[in-house]
C-alpha cells in the first residue's frame, strides 16, 4: 500500500503525485453507498462526496458508479467528489498529466459532456471528458480539444489520459495518441472534481458510468504511455510486447522478456481421409478416438461414383479415427 504524503516513483521517469482508487482504499463493496471521503492514497488531497454514488464492479475491478443521466455542460451534476481548495501542484508544470480508468455503458448523446475529472477551474482548469457524440476530449480553459477519432467503447473499461509535454496537451485513449494541441506550461488552479466539472464555476457535466481509478503524475525526461495505468488493463510485466494473461495461458513466463510466444511457431499438419462413394447416394463422415463412440463430422455428402477426399486438422488431437457411412435412403 502507498503511504499518504509520499509521491510514488512508478518507473525511472514517472512519479505519481495523487491517486484515488475509488473504493479500494475505502474497503467498498459492490452495491453499497460510496464513502463520504475519497482517500488520496499517494498525496494528501482527500475529496468529499456529493449525492449518492455507489460502488460497482467490472469483473474483479471495483469503482464508483455515477448516475448523472441528464448530464450536459449546463446541467448540474448530482453525484461527484470534490475538493474546493485541493491543488495537485506538479513540480514541473511543463511535464505532468492526469489519467483515469473508466467505463461508460451508454453512448453519450450529442449534447452530453461526461466529466471524468477536472483539475482547477475558471481560466486555469483542465477537464478530461467526453465531447460531441461520444468522443473523448480535453477541455482547457473552456476550449475543447476534440478527439472524434477516439470514441467511447461502451460497456468496456477504457484508459484515458491528458498529458502535457513538449509544449502540447496530448490526449491518449487506450494507449494511442488521439489528438494534441499547442499549450504553454500549465499550472492548474486549486480545486478538484471527479465525476463533474465545468472548467469554471458550477458542478455540471456529471459523469454517467463507472470510474475505477484517477491519478495525477509528473515525469522528468521521457514519457511512455505504457508506464501509466494502461498497464493495469493489459499487464505486460516483462515489457516484451505480450500481455501477461496470454503468456501464462500458453505456458510462458510473463516475468522473463526471453520467454515469449514467438518461440511457439510450428506447423500443424492435417490428416487426409478418402473413400469411394456411389452415384446418387449420400454419405456421412464420422470420427472416433476409441473406435467405440462415433460422432458425425460431415453429413449429406453426395456420391459421384468415384473417390472423395477430405482434409481434417490434427491440431490438439493425439489420436483420431475416421470412417464413411452410407446414409439410409
Q: Per residue in 248-283, is it b (16+ CB within 10 Å) or e — as a string?
A: eeeebebeeeebbeeeeeeeeeeeebebebeeeebb
Are 81 and 197 a contacting pair, CB within 8 Å? no
Could you report the per-residue pLDDT of 112-126, keeping only the tens digit for each?
Answer: 888 999 998 655 678
- Residue matched to cell numbers 464555476: 201
Distances (CA, A) of 277 to 89, 197, 288: 81, 74, 21
At 317 the three-state DSSP class reads coil
In this prediction, the residues of the chain whose per-residue pLDDT falls under 70 are: 1-12, 121-124, 133, 141-150, 199-201, 235, 237, 239, 245, 263-268
Inter-residue contact 271 to 258 (CB < 8 Å): no
Place of cell 485513449: 173
Assigned C-alpha cell, 174: 487506450
Q: Where does residue 23 rank: exposed (0-12), middle (13-18), buried (19+ CB within 10 A)? A: buried
CA distance 24 to 202: 28
Per-residue model confidence as pLDDT tens digits over 163-176: 999 898 999 988 88
What pairs with residue 218 in β-bridges? 15, 96
Q: How many residues does the chain have?
A: 329
Structure letter (DSSP) for residue 111: T
**Beta carbons of 44 and 18 less than 8 angstroms apart:** no
Sequence-separated (6 or more) residues with CB below 8 Å from residue 293: none
169, 140 Cβ separation under 8 angstroms: yes
What whole-number distance in Å separates Cα of residue 276 and Cα of residue 259? 48
How far, in Å, are 98, 131, 239, 268, 271 from residue 314 at the CA level?
A: 50, 51, 33, 7, 6
Beta carbons of 51 and 78 less than 8 angstroms apart: yes
**CB count in 10 Å sphere of residue 32:** 13
Burial-class residue 2 by CB neighbours within 10 Å (0-12, 13-18, 19+): middle
C-alpha cell of residue 201: 464555476
Amino acid at each position: 500500500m502507498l503511504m499518504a504524503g509520499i509521491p510514488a516513483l512508478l518507473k525511472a521517469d514517472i512519479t505519481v503525485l495523487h491517486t484515488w482508487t475509488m473504493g479500494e482504499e475505502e474497503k467498498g463493496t459492490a452495491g453499497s453507498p460510496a464513502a463520504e471521503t475519497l482517500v488520496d492514497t499517494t498525496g494528501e488531497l482527500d475529496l468529499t462526496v456529493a449525492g449518492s454514488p455507489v460502488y460497482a464492479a467490472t469483473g474483479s475491478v471495483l469503482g464508483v458508479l455515477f448516475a448523472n443521466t441528464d448530464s450536459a455542460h449546463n446541467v448540474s451534476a448530482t453525484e461527484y467528489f470534490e475538493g474546493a481548495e485541493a491543488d495537485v501542484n506538479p513540480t514541473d508544470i511543463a511535464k505532468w498529466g492526469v489519467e483515469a480508468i473508466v467505463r461508460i455503458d451508454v453512448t453519450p448523446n450529442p449534447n452530453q459532456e461526461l466529466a471524468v475529472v477536472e483539475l482547477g477551474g475558471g481560466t486555469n482548469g483542465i477537464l478530461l471528458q467526453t465531447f460531441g457524440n461520444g468522443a473523448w476530449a480535453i477541455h482547457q480553459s473552456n476550449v475543447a480539444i476534440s478527439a472524434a477519432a477516439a470514441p467511447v467503447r461502451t460497456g468496456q473499461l477504457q484508459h484515458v489520459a491528458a498529458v502535457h509535454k513538449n509544449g502540447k496537451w496530448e490526449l491518449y485513449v487506450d494507449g494511442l495518441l488521439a489528438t494534441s494541441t499547442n499549450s504553454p506550461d500549465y499550472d492548474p488552479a486549486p480545486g478538484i472534481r471527479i465525476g463533474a466539472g465545468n472548467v469554471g464555476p458550477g458542478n455540471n457535466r456529471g459523469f454517467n458510468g463507472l470510474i475505477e481509478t484517477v491519478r495525477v503524475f509528473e515525469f522528468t525526461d521521457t514519457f511512455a504511455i505504457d508506464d501509466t495505468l494502461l498497464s493495469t488493463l493489459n499487464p505486460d510485466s516483462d515489457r516484451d510486447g505480450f500481455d501477461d494473461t496470454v503468456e501464462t495461458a500458453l505456458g510462458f513466463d510473463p516475468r522473463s522478456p526471453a520467454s515469449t510466444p514467438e518461440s511457439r511457431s510450428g506447423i500443424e499438419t492435417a490428416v487426409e481421409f478418402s473413400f469411394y462413394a456411389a452415384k446418387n447416394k449420400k454419405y456421412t463422415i464420422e470420427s472416433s478416438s476409441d473406435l467405440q463412440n462415433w460422432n458425425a463430422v460431415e453429413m449429406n455428402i453426395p456420391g459421384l461414383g468415384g473417390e472423395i477426399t477430405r482434409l481434417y486438422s490434427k491440431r490438439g488431437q493425439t489420436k483420431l479415427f475416421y470412417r464413411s457411412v452410407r446414409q439410409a435412403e
